[in-house]
Structure 1
């Protein structure tokens, strides 16, 4: 039998077959995917082959094959830096929810996420949530960041999961596709999903005022079928987004505005650091590239972790 993994709890997987039946499945022994050192060999969105077994009147499945993935998105495992964690597989697009405050989403986090989406050829859309709570300053930050990422080529939508502003636009983009929703805890993913499909009734929690951080409500990634010919993958809130090992030479290719200028650099293998006649550095000096983007690039190149608390928005 074949089916799609709709939920992973680490040891058990909920698999749905094309006729709509769901089975609890597990894997037998060690499962290794060639070339991927991962803490979770099977992810939500995977197509798998499994066989049924009956024990004590309970029918469960044993997964014996993972079909080739169209794509997948990964991040560094929290505790094992050399291992990766596959967030989801076979995705058409990913929506990253961004909040300026309550909790803050910093540019370095956005950029790391976008770089990973670019590396795995997944379309990324930025949703600036909680529009209903903005004051003049936060509205300015939203407009600045939105114009920055739009200029690069990313879709940016200002939404309010609470009031429903621009939710129709999001639903339109989701139609006929598998969409993954991601972001820090507390940015309003569950509230947004509930607005898109009220019958799902996902749990939501308030922001911790002390640290302006969200409390985790989603424990495991899970896929849902929606009423308007769309699928959604809801993911746990993520604190940081460690970029999985990339060759230094390829990092710049995942910054679209750098990649467009690459051919104008004097050297083919230019890293845009101290090389002479570097088109990217020239664009930076002429304010044609955002400094926050270049700083994120340097941090990834140097293998630095994100600076969650000290980062700030640069408007220069």
Structure 2
């Protein structure tokens, strides 16, 4: 077998990486210099990366280079940090799992995740998870906001099977990232889609109504029906990084559709007279909650730059 090869990272633990070669995972570590290429990331190699590997003098395999990524999902590593954390790379679609209660997914988390997917041209579908436990009025209100913005919102329940077949269709033949807060049911849904997969699942903490982390490391699983799914540890927060204030509105689809009607070509959609976006918010054509998310992200970015 060749000492050197190029393969796909299918599991990342932070110290060791499983790289797929001829259908079998090979345990690899990173060559130290990969951390020194000017990318201020806490994780230079991620699941989904295509990497070049060599065998060293001890017979161990070492990742020596990363093939340029065509996209990735990235977030700020921590509060007021200038480092980034890449969640996954080279993906065809993202499924964002959201629950309105047990536990509640914060709207700002949803909007920041969607902005990042828009920025890196990753199609995203929102999965309203545990739909059998959700309040019908809250579900209707959520759907109105995000379908109005232009997203597909799919109601799912691993318990009663709602939406499972549609999710299976979305996954077929694609490399899909499944993401969301802890406890929204990512691992349970994936295991429902393909029961042959060995994925840990957990329960909600009764005392805090928050999810427990059941997925410890990001892992890519091949699906029996073709394609692959990336299961990630639950994410608590989602700070944006490397998105310019002047471009932010480009990543709100409903604002992109409306902005050509603004009086000024360089309108920031915050205060200008003749702003079509502000008018659309006033008339209810653009959700006030989504517009407030936009303003909050602008304000947050100013704090990070200080």
**Which residue of structure 2 lines up, in the alignment, with residue 133 of structure 1?**
133
- CA offsets per residue over residues 177-208 of structure 1, 9 Å max, x none? 00000011000011101101111131111111
Distance 1:100 1:162 in 2: 17
Distance 1:226 1:88 in 2: 17
Kindly report which structure 2 residues correspond to 1:219-230, keeping only aligned pairs within 5 A, or say none.
219-230=216-227
Kindly report which structure 2 residues correspond to 1:287-302, keeping only aligned pairs within 5 A, or say none.
287-302=284-299
In the alignment, is residue 12 of structure 1 matched against residue 16 of structure 2? yes
Kindly report which structure 2 residues correspond to 1:102-251, keeping only aligned pairs within 5 A, or say none.
102-134=102-134, 138-251=135-248
Q: Give the CA deviation at 1:106.
A: 2.1
Distance 2:157 2:36 in 1: 40
Give 1:37's match in structure 2, choosing from 33, 36, 40.
40
Q: Give the CA deviation at 1:78.
A: 2.3
- CA offsets per residue over residues 202-260 of structure 1, 9 Å max, x none? 11111112211001111111100010002000011011111113211100000001111
Distance 2:88 2:172 in 1: 19
| Secondary structure in 2 matching 1:294 | helix
**Which residue of structure 1 lines up, in the alignment, with residue 7 of structure 2?**
3
Normalising by structure 1, report the TM-score.
Answer: 0.91
**Which residue of structure 2 lines up, in the alignment, with residue 24 of structure 1?**
27
Distance 1:111 1:162 in 2: 27
In the alignment, is residue 94 of structure 1 matched against residue 88 of structure 2? no
| Secondary structure in 2 matching 1:208 | coil
Gaps of 5+ in 1: 306-316
Gaps of 5+ in 2: none
Distance 1:287 1:152 in 2: 12
Distance 2:198 2:10 in 1: 17
Distance 2:9 2:140 in 1: 38
CA RMSD of aligned residues (A): 1.6
- CA offsets per residue over residues 154-187 of structure 1, 9 Å max, x none? 1111010122211110010111100000011000
| Secondary structure in 1 matching 2:19 | strand
Distance 2:110 2:223 in 1: 27
**Which residue of structure 2 lines up, in the alignment, with residue 311 of structure 1?**
none
